[in-house]
Structure 1
Amino acid sequence: MNEIVIEMPAIFSVQEAGDFREEIREWIQQGQYRFLLDFRSCSFIDSTGLGVIVSSYKKCVENGGGIRLGTLNANVRNIFELTRLTSVFEII
């Protein structure tokens, strides 16, 4: 099955994380387990945003899929590096 590209919002915090959780849950219910998160427009992510991405990643991996991260700017990449999530996610 093809990878679904999800464009991340400019600010990825509590409100946006809830919306993302619902969107990815719907895709997973349809049997889609491979995603590319496009961070091209995203300049900030908080711990809630990180948490929902990690929990979604776990669900995808359990079903033979995964989540890749793309076009991270320096600020967002730094957050993933500080939390050591760069060792979990493939970043392109």
Structure 2
Amino acid sequence: MINTVMIPRNFAIDEATELREKLIDMIENNKYDFLLDFSNCTFIDSTGLGVLVSVYKRINEHKGSLKLVKLNDNVMKVFKLTRLDKVFEIN
């Protein structure tokens, strides 16, 4: 079963910490397949990216999946600049 998680509008330090805790809790409860919906997200910083990378590593340890969807142009630009568009499956 795929678990859909909404990414906050401003995915920076406070929101990133909260989302990390939520995702890690889900992983610890044997949920390993995620669809992260960026339709509300207009900004992501390095903390947000760090959360995604650390969660991605944990999910991979369990042979799970992580897909990112509905990224706007500004957020997508950050993924391309950091080359994380080559790491994550983005639709």
TM over 0.5: yes
Please give the alpha-carbon distance, in whole angstroms, between the structure 1 residues aligned to 2:47 and 2:39: 19
**Aligned counterparts, 1:33-44, within 5 A:** 33-44=32-43
For residues 6 and 79 of structure 1, what CA distance do their matches in structure 2 show? 20
* Superposition map of 1:11-22 within 5 A: 11-22=10-21
Any runs of at least 4 consecutive aligned residues in structure 1 with deviations exceeding 2 A, and if so which? none
In structure 2, runs of 5+ residues without a counterpart are: none
Alignment identity in percent?
47
TM-superposed deviation, 1:74 = 0.1
C-alpha distance in structure 1 between counterparts of 2:2 and 2:82, whole Å? 25
Opposite residue 24 of structure 1, the aligned amino acid is L
Secondary structure, counterpart of 2:77 in structure 1: helix
Could you list the per-position Cα deviations for residues 48-81 of structure 1 after superposition, in whole angstroms to 9, with x for gaps in the alignment? 0000110000000110012110000000000000
> Does the residue aligned with 2:19 lie in a helix, a strand or coil?
helix
The equivalent residue for 1:87 is 86
TM-score, reference length from structure 2:
0.98
**How high is the TM-score relative to the length of structure 1?**
0.97
- Letter of the structure 2 residue corresponding to residue 48 of structure 1: T
Which residue pairs with 1:71 in the alignment? 70
Say which SS state the counterpart of residue 37 (structure 1) adopts: strand
Corresponding residue pairs, total:
91
Task: Give 1:3 shift.
Answer: 1.0
